[in-house]
Amino acid sequence: MIVLRSIIFVLAFQFLFSSFLASQTHKEKADLLITGGIVVTMDSTRAILDDGAVAVRGDTIIAVGPRNELEARYAASQTIDAKGKLVLPGFINGHTHVPMTLFRGLHDDVTLNDWLYKYIFPAEAKNVNEEFVRWGTRLAAAEQIRGGVTTFADMYYFEDAVAEETKAAGMRGVLGETFIDFPAPDNKDESEMLAYTEKFLKKWQGDPLIHAAVAPHSIYTCSQRTLQDSATLARTFHAPILIHTGEMKKEWEDSEKQNGMSPVQYLDKIGLLGPDVVSAHCIFVDAYDEKTLAKKQVGCVHNPSSNMMIASGVSPVAEMRAAGVAVGLGTDGPAGSNNDLDLMEEMDLAAKLAKITKMDPLALNAKAVVEMATIDGARALHMEKEIGSLEPGKKADFILISLDEPHAVPMYDIYAQLAYALKGSDVETVVIGGRVVMRDRRLLTVNEEEAIAKARQYKKSIAASLGL
Amino acid sequence: MIVLRSIIFVLAFQFLFSSFLASQTHKEKADLLITGGIVVTMDSTRAILDDGAVAVRGDTIIAVGPRNELEARYAASQTIDAKGKLVLPGFINGHTHVPMTLFRGLHDDVTLNDWLYKYIFPAEAKNVNEEFVRWGTRLAAAEQIRGGVTTFADMYYFEDAVAEETKAAGMRGVLGETFIDFPAPDNKDESEMLAYTEKFLKKWQGDPLIHAAVAPHSIYTCSQRTLQDSATLARTFHAPILIHTGEMKKEWEDSEKQNGMSPVQYLDKIGLLGPDVVSAHCIFVDAYDEKTLAKKQVGCVHNPSSNMMIASGVSPVAEMRAAGVAVGLGTDGPAGSNNDLDLMEEMDLAAKLAKITKMDPLALNAKAVVEMATIDGARALHMEKEIGSLEPGKKADFILISLDEPHAVPMYDIYAQLAYALKGSDVETVVIGGRVVMRDRRLLTVNEEEAIAKARQYKKSIAASLGL
């Protein structure tokens, strides 16, 4: 009996092992397989797969399709079960100033002028250094990953430190060093800015995550020469140009007075506009400007929270989209103008703000704002070949969203649920360039406790520096 | 040695035990003590205690003060450590239709007319019964408790079932049975509505949590007789009257045409307005209406999400507040007009909507919207003696909010943090009438999994009933 049992055991084992080998040998290798979720691809057909899967090799998506097909085709070293969850391209925060997390809530509810000149400029002069920028970026990375943001476009100072921290957090960034016609916390004049930025652009060339960029602040803080010099530098290195455009009424009025034309037309006239430019805000743009932006393939970024909070005005988002402009979504800085980095809130707000402004509930719908947070955000950053949708060949940037909260059910329409009901806190798992940076709400690339503790310390020193 | 040790042990034990008894005997008894949080009282001085405490006996707050004082004074059978957290009065959702959670996201981005007549009225006719109302209320209770709402004002059908489920969830409710001049899912005509509502009002008289109310839907769906009959019934039982007022342009235009006066003036003329009325929306009200609302002590409830989503218009919140009207905040129904029950989002939106509408960043500040969600919400519901602030003698309705998330730091201003940065998902613990209904994000009074599963089932049958 014992002998017989042993023989049966050995035979059974051999059979199972050879079956296993056979099943493995004809499978292609993958590094990561996401299985069983509702895959919202945001591809050109806006395909949604009810029981889908995504296969990843290295930092790239190699297949998107039905779960059973991909499970049969790929043997993955890591598998994440997404059953009952949404799988989406990571959100793209098209405009922000991440180190300003450390100024979050420092004097809201004041005029922009008071905020800038009484509070933020003095606070920046007294507190912003490379160390500040590093801690602010770490805190922002934690917050953005938690909310499903995988790529963000930033404009600040010490942008090389922002880039190092962004890379360390495993996030994708379009990171612009600021040019401005007054002494900045990092560089005191244009020649310093040019030297710093050239070094910065050289350093990050070819990096898989970091797109070093040039950020002339705006037409009201930069001379024509600063604008043109910074653009020339950017174009020498094929780097993106990030700029605030048509954000404020005074900017538009002054441009009409001084240049005899709108901010957009002025930027076009001096050779700044092109398919490498990302214009934040675009509130004071008219139909002619919209055509120019579309023709020059400028990407625009709408920041509804900021525009409402500062009372800047309402961007003609629907009109720009209709004119063929790529319009993304941004949070703007998390101080004075939001005060967080939650792109899902911006989706909700973008739709609701357009509706109430036009007194038309059809003005901008749920699908449109999800597009703005994903594929259109990628187009606005001129990165649509790289990110923004779940398609083979694109970078493996995606998020898993839980549907197990009371506010997540029932779900009649996925886009409506994303825009109007689901929250940043529903994001469970985040993958950027094939690397899992958050798993089941646990951050894997940022020391969150340390960043939070440091932010509390900074609060004390910043408040003291302002005599608060 | 052993004997000596034993003697020392016995003496030490006696000493400790008698000290304990002594410390206990001169302490007053409490049922619950919250210690060590930042206590945001929302009392008349808007006092904030940095290391505060709240003592509760039965369903009532018996003391609010510094932690060390209250710890010395009270011996509590249950203590909750709130160190590092905010302690706030529970949020008050002044206007909603909770069973509509089951229609969440059912056809958004359409005109109100299409939404009502093509989708919601048919969906209600085919699906709403007492069972539906019970499950929708359970789901809404779970969602609202998670977001820190402790009291809500509701208008729907089968309101007695809403009341039973609200009480079972341990929530406080002002629950209005709807009067409307067409056959409703529960009552087919006015006489049925009167009979149902009289029974409903009688049943809940004196209940500590449930305030049964009467809800004539609006002037455009109720005849003068229906409005007056329902108000008379309410006043017989000292019950609140909930009504949609000045929500839609057409309502206002029709009232001007048919009655020669605004909706508010018409309601006043027919004797409806008084210190027992809660008017939802109040968008189409002018300066004269504001004075009337203030003089008649009508409470108003602002619903920014809904007003934006349906593109109804913008309520003159700052003007109403200046005129002395108590203005609360509401989510409105979670279908077609929001789509959730998140009062913290409404705070953020109320401030931002006022600012952008007036192009003035000072139009409505963070403190004002926190007031609207708490003490002013209580005033709008005529319950300011009972709830809305943390003061001895008031009901023990309060919430603990975590400050341990990246978006919660640094904190320069508590009101700004609440309005613009903190989220419903930061609410950790919720106490209503002294009963802990959520502890560390675990719901204790609602079977959430069951409610979520049921919502998914309802989605299938509702979609099928509409041929979707």
- Report pLDDT for A15: 52
Q: Above 50 in pLDDT, residue B22?
A: no
- Nearest by CB to residue A109, choosing from B112, B361, B451, is B361
In percent, the amount of chain A with pLDDT more than 70 equals 95
Side-chain-facing half-sphere of B174: CA atoms under 13 Å: 31
- Report pLDDT for B20: 52
pLDDT per position as a tens digit, A74-110: 999 999 999 999 999 999 999 999 999 999 998 888 8
* pTM of the predicted model as reported, rounded to 2 decimal places: 0.94
| Burial category of B287 from C-beta neighbours within 10 Å (exposed 0-12, middle 13-18, buried 19 and up) | exposed
Q: Residue B395: which of B407, B404, B387, B403 has the closest Cα?
A: B387
Interface touch B339/A416, C-beta < 8 Å: yes
CB contact set of A255 (below 8 Å; sequence gap of 6+) = A219, A261, A262, A263, A266
Q: What is the SS3 string spanning A137-150? A: HHHHHHHHHHCCEE
The residue behind tokens 């920046």 is: A124
Q: Above 80 in pLDDT, residue A178?
A: yes
Banded model confidence at residue A22, pLDDT cuts 50, 70, 90: very low
The residue behind tokens 């960029």 is: A213
Question: Which residues are registered as beta bridge partners of A155?
Answer: A176
Handedness of CA A143, A148, A150, A152 (dihedral sign): negative
This complex has an ipTM of 0.94
Distance (Å, whole) CA B468 – CA B455? 17
- Report pLDDT for A198: 98
CB contact set of A398 (below 8 Å; sequence gap of 6+) = A34, A54, A87, A88, A89, A90, A150, A390, A430, A431
Residue A116 distance to chain B (closest CA, Å)? 13
| Range in A297-311, B114-128, B287-301 with the lowest mean pLDDT | B114-128
Interface touch B311/A358, C-beta < 8 Å: yes
Nearest CA in chain B to A457: B410
Q: In A74-104, which positions are buried (b, 16+ CB within 10 angstroms) versus exposed (e)?
A: bebeebbebeebbbbbbbbbbbbbbbbbbbb
Interface touch B366/A108, C-beta < 8 Å: yes
- Report pLDDT for A54: 98
pLDDT per position as a tens digit, A220-266: 999 999 999 999 999 999 999 999 999 999 999 999 999 999 999 99
- Report pLDDT for A13: 56
Interface touch A417/B112, C-beta < 8 Å: no
Distance of alpha carbon A245 from the chain centroid:
19
Interface touch B406/A359, C-beta < 8 Å: no
- Report pLDDT for B336: 81
Q: Above 70 in pLDDT, residue B16?
A: no
Can you read off the two tokens belonging to residue B380?
């709008």
pLDDT per position as a tens digit, A409-429: 999 999 999 999 999 999 999
> Would you call B242 helix, strand, or coil by DSSP?
strand
pLDDT per position as a tens digit, B281-311: 999 999 999 999 999 999 999 999 999 999 9
- Nearest by CB to residue B105, choosing from A311, A417, A456, is A417
| Range in A116-125, B63-72, B329-338 with the lowest mean pLDDT | A116-125
pLDDT (average), residues A367-379: 98
> Would you call A465 helix, strand, or coil by DSSP?
helix
- Nearest by CB to residue B416, choosing from A108, A310, A425, is A108
- Report pLDDT for A266: 98
> Chains A, B: CB contacts under 8 A, how many?
216
- Report pLDDT for B468: 82
* Contact (Cβ atoms closer than 8 angstroms) between residue A333 and residue A96: yes
Banded model confidence at residue A12, pLDDT cuts 50, 70, 90: low
- Torsion angle, CA of B46/B50/B51/B57, rounded to 10 degrees? 20
Q: What mean pLDDT is reported for chain B? A: 95
CB contact set of A465 (below 8 Å; sequence gap of 6+) = A123, A126, A127
CB contact set of B122 (below 8 Å; sequence gap of 6+) = B466
Residue B352: its chain A contacts at CB < 8 A?
A: 305, 308-309, 349
Can you read off the two tokens belonging to residue A278?
């990302």
Q: Residue B102: which of B458, B468, B343, B460 has the closest Cα?
A: B458
pLDDT per position as a tens digit, B46-90: 999 999 999 999 999 999 999 999 999 999 999 999 999 999 999
| Range in A59-73, A288-302, B2-16, B335-349 with the lowest mean pLDDT | B2-16
DSSP 8-state code for residue A348: H
Tell me how far CA of residue A97 lies from CA of A181, A204, A466, B388, in angstroms. Answer: 18, 19, 21, 37
Which is higher by pLDDT, B371 or A113? B371
Which is higher by pLDDT, B108 or B189? B189
pLDDT (average), residues B314-338: 96
**What is the set of domains in chain B, with CATH numbers?**
91-380 (3.20.20.140)
Q: Above 60 in pLDDT, residue B436?
A: yes
Residue A458 distance to chain B (closest CA, Å)? 8
Interface touch A112/B358, C-beta < 8 Å: no
- Report pLDDT for A112: 80
Q: Residue A299: which of A270, A285, A320 has the closest Cα?
A: A320
* Contact (Cβ atoms closer than 8 angstroms) between residue B412 and residue A345: no
Q: Residue B351: which of B264, B421, B428, B426 has the closest Cα?
A: B421
Banded model confidence at residue B10, pLDDT cuts 50, 70, 90: low
Interface touch A313/B359, C-beta < 8 Å: yes
Q: In A409-426, which positions are buried (b, 16+ CB within 10 angstroms) versus exposed (e)?
A: bbbbbbbbbbbbbbbbbb
